């Protein structure tokens, strides 16, 4: 049987869902005379890594292709790099292991080391009692064609029901944090699009968060204002007055034809106006998201977007690679879209780290997703001192995260065991509102009950 793009892509992006799939791929592509492992059932972890290495070598021999992330399939390669560096005594040994045993390319090893070094410079061990807080707003002005999140269009009545439930959860969390001596090192209001809410509702929410939750004296406070068409002068003034220190303005691309194709309601000119409004309001830090690999674009389009964004002088730039997930309009229209446009993102991102470094930006956090064009990654770049602590803590997974709202995934960190446990809220915003009592009870038992048992909560 000949290897297909789908087989190769699944292997290199973590799309192989269980150990049996590795065994099945081994049966397909590995010559029995060269394969000594028993693949009659799920292999143990060490055998699974050997299966992946042999699969990589065989598929590379058959196709002439060498995916840049080698055999790595996890979404947090930086976490693995950090663990290896700590265990082996430094970045050099970690890079050699990832090169020799995981076949990671030299350029990705360099990216990992740079990101790791920025993290060591910026992050300190989480202070006693410090946690990260996430609040989700599952409403948007429109649905993007690549989006797989459970979010819906903003509508006053459903949003009001949702926010009433969210305020109940916030009040409960604030009470429990205060009782346990916990405080928010960072607050991140994400979405969806929080600025899709009307001004009165958003103002009440933001003031409640800072007025109700115990917070550090200089807590990082981020609000995703991802849709430029929601950022009027009045909205930016409101965000500044409520204490937001960092916002995200996410154009994704500066090509108007592409914006229309992916379901955005703004144009490139609105992105410029949103930046102007944010600067005028005195918002100090702006992140801009852009996406490589959007259908219909080539390397020149991506270069145009990058130039246009750099001209607006954001402090952060997050470079995503298109991920075509289940539930997205792109995936519904073409199940193999990410395979059919292979090579596009690689060409777009060629030389990007060097270009951004020349403008003073450094990579500070990194993660991967399944069903990503060219098996690539998402990287956050920042000017020195403008890194987002919340994003870095999330990738590091050494701090408790309290997530509120629909789709929230709280994480309890157990420092003595260096592990986390997750407590989930339901994803649908209507179900969340209807079952808010249950969501609160999950936190009472699973989150705060666990934290009471930790000798040193993080």
In 3D, which of 373, 430, 409 has the Cα closest to residue 146?
373
Does some domain include residue 381? Answer: yes
7-25: per-residue pLDDT in tens?
555 554 445 545 556 556 6
Q: Is residue 99 part of a domain?
A: no
Contact 98, 70 (CB under 8 A): yes
> What are the φ/ψ torsions at residue 186 (nearest 5 degrees)?
-145, 145
Q: Assess whether pLDDT exceeds 50 at residue 455.
A: no
- Check whether residue 250 and residue 359 sit in a common domain: yes
Q: Cα separation of 426 and 424, whole Å?
A: 6
| Whether residue 48 is found in the same domain as residue 145 | no
Q: Are residues 161 and 294 in the same domain?
A: yes
39-88: pLDDT as tens digits: 555 556 667 788 888 888 888 888 888 999 999 988 899 999 999 999 98
Please list the residues that pair with 293 across neighbouring strands: none
**Burial, 13: exposed, middle or buried (Cβ in 10 Å; 0-12, 13-18, 19+)?**
buried
- pTM for this model (two decimals): 0.91
pLDDT confidence tier of residue 341, bands split at 50, 70 and 90: confident
Which domain does 177 fall in, by range?
123-396
Claim to verify: residue 50 and residue 153 sit in the same structural domain = no
pLDDT at 11: 52
Q: What is the CATH number of the domain that holds 389?
A: 3.80.30.20
Question: 157 and 54 in one domain?
Answer: no
Would you say residue 418 lies in a domain?
A: no
Beta bridge partners of 380: 318, 365
């Amino acid at each position: 049987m000949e290897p297909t793009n789908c087989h190769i892509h699944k292997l290199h992006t973590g799309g192989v869902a269980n150990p049996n799939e590795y065994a099945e791929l081994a049966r397909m592509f590995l010559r029995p005379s060269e394969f000594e492992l028993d693949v009659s059932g799920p292999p143990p972890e060490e055998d699974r890594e050997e299966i992946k290495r042999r699969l990589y070598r065989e598929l590379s021999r058959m196709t002439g292709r060498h995916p840049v992330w080698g055999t790595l399939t996890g979404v947090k390669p930086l976490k693995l790099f950090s663990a290896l560096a700590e265990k082996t005594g430094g970045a050099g040994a970690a890079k050699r292991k990832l090169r020799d045993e995981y076949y990671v390319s030299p350029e990705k090893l360099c990216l990992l080391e740079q990101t790791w070094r920025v993290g060591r410079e910026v992050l300190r061990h989480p202070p006693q009692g410090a946690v990260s807080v996430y609040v989700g707003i599952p409403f948007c002005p429109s649905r993007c064609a690549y989006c797989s999140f459970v979010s819906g269009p903003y509508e006053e009545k459903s949003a009001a029901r949702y926010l009433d439930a969210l305020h109940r959860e916030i009040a409960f969390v604030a009470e429990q944090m205060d009782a346990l001596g916990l405080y928010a090192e960072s607050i991140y209001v994400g979405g969806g699009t929080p600025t899709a809410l009307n001004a009165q509702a958003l103002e009440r929410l933001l003031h409640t968060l800072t007025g109700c939750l115990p917070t550090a004296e200089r807590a990082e406070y981020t609000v995703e204002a991802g849709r430029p068409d929601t950022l009027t002068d009045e909205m930016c003034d409101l965000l500044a007055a409520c204490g937001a220190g960092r916002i995200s303005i996410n154009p994704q691309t500066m090509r108007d034809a592409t914006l229309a194709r992916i379901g955005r309601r703004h144009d490139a000119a609105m992105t410029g106006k949103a930046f102007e409004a944010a600067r005028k309001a005195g918002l100090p830090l702006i992140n801009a998201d852009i996406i490589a690999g959007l259908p219909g674009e080539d390397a020149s389009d991506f270069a145009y977007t990058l130039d246009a964004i750099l001209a607006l002088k954001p402090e952060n730039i997050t470079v995503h690679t298109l991920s075509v997930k289940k539930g997205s309009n792109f995936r519904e229209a073409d199940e193999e879209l990410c395979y059919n446009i292979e090579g596009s993102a690689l060409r777009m991102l060629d030389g990007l780290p060097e270009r951004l470094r020349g403008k003073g930006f450094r990579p500070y956090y990194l993660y991967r997703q399944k069903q990503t064009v060219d098996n690539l990654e998402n990287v956050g770049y920042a000017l020195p001192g403008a890194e987002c602590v919340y994003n870095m803590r999330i990738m590091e997974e050494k701090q408790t995260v309290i997530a509120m709202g629909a789709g929230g995934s709280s994480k309890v960190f157990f420092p003595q065991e260096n592990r986390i446990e997750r407590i989930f809220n339901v994803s649908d915003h209507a179900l969340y509102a209807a079952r808010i009592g249950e969501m609160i009870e999950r936190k009472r038992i699973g989150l705060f009950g666990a934290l009471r048992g930790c000798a040193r909560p993080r």
